[in-house]
Amino acid sequence: MNLELRHLKVVVAIAETGSVTKAASQLGLAQPALTAQLQRIERTLGGPLFERDRRGARPTALGELVLSRARVLLPAMKGLQDEAARLAGSSGSDTMSRYRIGALGGPILGGMVYRLSTIQPDAQITTHASYYVEELATMLQGGKLDYAQVGVCGDAMPSADYGLVWQTVAVDAVCVLMPDDHPAAKAVDVDLAELAHEQWAGGTGDGCFADCFAAACARAGFTPRRVLESDVRGCVDMVESGLALGLCQPTFRPPAGLTSRPMRGAPLRWRQVLGWHPESPAARSATKLIEMAEEAYQEVVSRNPLYVEWTKEYPHLGGGVPDNMAPLSAS
């Protein structure tokens, strides 16, 4: 006889009730049938699982071992069955019960997760952080993520080589992060040409941003000093110390003592996009996720009223997908 989950349920029931008779009643079986089944289980496992006397049934050392495993396996199997049922039940609808979202960081992810948690409190939501668009695209392609929220250079989109769909959420001017008392902070925007002598700090990652920044500086008439790459905290530390000026998004909230200003004329832009695989279940919920991402962006950018006012002179910036920027796919 092969040991099955139903046999483990028998052992657990006897241990919890302390009696074969009570366990039989709980399981809806006749007491002789349960006794015979227990004997077959014991023969399969090689020894008695319970000591039985007038006081009831108490686990032997072998019984305790079996019980310790059963109390792990049975809840795990129940959880698997419940999750499978939820997924199967949602397979024919637009409502997912699990969301695996990868992101490079930035302002949109938190708002998306909050909104999902609010409208689907029972949904399983997990996030994965990365510095690299290529890594997240590979995970989408391999089915390890449902969505990826990433940022790319303003005139670019992530590679279509992975067979994914990418849709723009917002396009923003890249801003300069500086101390409050920096001379350039007195204006509503900064002339990149006037910052030719500055050292720069920015986040790490893949893509063409470094080349695009160098090109913007070249158009402004100078060659920039090499950008010092670091995580967000490292960049802030360098700006606070006066070592460098930072390159940031207008949705970034500077700590006390620092401020940000957009570059005049928006010579350098940053595009927020959401991606998914067109043949995955996530494709059915993509419209909902795009709406949440756009709402999250609008909520965060509204905390920078100076920038929002400034963008009125630049109608190609802000949330939404411009008419000439339809979603891209590898078709």
**CA distances from residue 302 to 175, 232, 307, 309 in whole angstroms, order as listed:** 15, 21, 9, 10
d(CA 80, CA 164): 29
Residue with tokens 């695209």: 137
Give strand pairing partners of 259.
Answer: 178
Question: What pLDDT score does 323 carry?
Answer: 36
pLDDT average, residue stretch 314-324: 66
pLDDT average, residue stretch 87-104: 72
Q: For the chain, what is the mean pLDDT? A: 87
d(CA 272, CA 153): 9
pLDDT average, residue stretch 61-69: 94
Count of CB atoms situated within 10 Å of the CB of 157 = 16
Q: Is 58 exposed, middle or buried (0-12, 13-18, 19+ CB in 10 A)?
A: middle
- Model pLDDT for residues 142-153, shown as the tens digit of each residue: 899 999 999 888
- Model pLDDT for residues 231-255, shown as the tens digit of each residue: 889 999 999 999 999 999 999 999 9
**CA distances from residue 203 to 5, 21, 55, 230, 233 in whole angstroms, order as listed:** 52, 68, 70, 5, 10
Question: What pLDDT score does 13 carry?
Answer: 93
- pLDDT confidence band for 162 (50 / 70 / 90): confident
Which is higher by pLDDT, 289 or 91?
Answer: 289
Contacts of 75 (CB under 8 A, 6+ apart): none
Residue with tokens 């349960």: 34
- Model pLDDT for residues 4-56, shown as the tens digit of each residue: 888 999 999 999 999 999 998 888 888 888 898 999 999 999 999 999 888 88
Question: What pLDDT score does 173 carry?
Answer: 94
Question: What pLDDT score does 84 carry?
Answer: 67
Which is higher by pLDDT, 328 or 173?
Answer: 173
pLDDT average, residue stretch 111-125: 91
Question: 182-202 b/e with 16+ CB inside 10 Å = b?
Answer: bebeeeebbebeebeebebbb
Residue 276 contacts residue 286 (beta carbons within 8 Å): yes
From edge to edge, which strands make up the β-sheet containing 200-203?
Answer: 227-230, 200-203, 245-248, 175-179, 258-262
pLDDT(228) > 70:
yes
d(CA 108, CA 272): 9
C-alpha torsion 304→203→130→267, nearest 10: 60
Question: What pLDDT score does 85 carry?
Answer: 57
d(CA 217, CA 219): 5
pLDDT(160) > 90:
no
